Amino acid sequence: MKKKILVVDDEKNIRILLKEELTDEGYDVILAQNGAEALELIKSEKPDLVTLDIKMPGEDGLSILRKIRETEYDLPVIICSAYSVYKTEFSAVAANHYVVKSSNFDDLKNKIREIISCLENTGSEC
């Protein structure tokens, strides 16, 4: 069964590109353009993993991450941001991984593979 990934990013082009890249990797990909939409999709779609941008209009990704952790503590979340300065931000520690966005998504795809593989092999938090 295909694993479902929720991509949360306010930039439409990034969402589309990530959907294409991750679909090519064999994942079922759903998209959200903001945190509120992401929280609704987490409830209704039950994704296996979330990639979450930090800098978004309205609520930022770190605030959304805190809300995700309140209800879905075990849901793997990868912070995917163009701003490496947040990597050391205390709130980002609640994420499973932090990937700096670039034109090459290999690092992100590798982290996703690593987490999905861990979940399939252990069934526990990865």
**pLDDT tens digits, one per residue of 15-71:** 999 999 999 999 999 999 999 999 999 999 999 999 999 888 888 888 999 999 899
Q: What CA–CA distance (Å, rounded) separates 61 from 52?
A: 6
Provide the b/e sequence for 34-73 (b: ≥16 CB within 10 Å): bbeebbebbeeeebbbbbbbbebeeebbbebbeebeeebe
Q: What is the DSSP letter of 14?
A: H
Q: What CA–CA distance (Å, rounded) separates 68 from 70?
A: 5
Judge contact between 48 and 96, C-beta under 8 A: no
Pairing label, strands 28-32, 77-81: unpaired
- Report, in angstroms and rounded to the nearest whole number, the Rg of the chain calculated over CA atoms: 13
**Partners of 77 in the beta sheet?**
50
70-126 confidence digits (pLDDT tens) = 998 889 999 887 655 555 554 455 666 777 776 678 989 999 999 999 888 876 666
Q: Model's pTM, two decimal places? A: 0.87
Q: What CA–CA distance (Å, rounded) separates 4 from 70?
A: 21
- Domains contained in the chain, number: 1
**Which residue range forms the structural domain that includes residue 68?**
4-122
Judge contact between 38 and 53, C-beta under 8 A: no
Give me the CATH number covering residue 115.
Answer: 3.40.50.2300
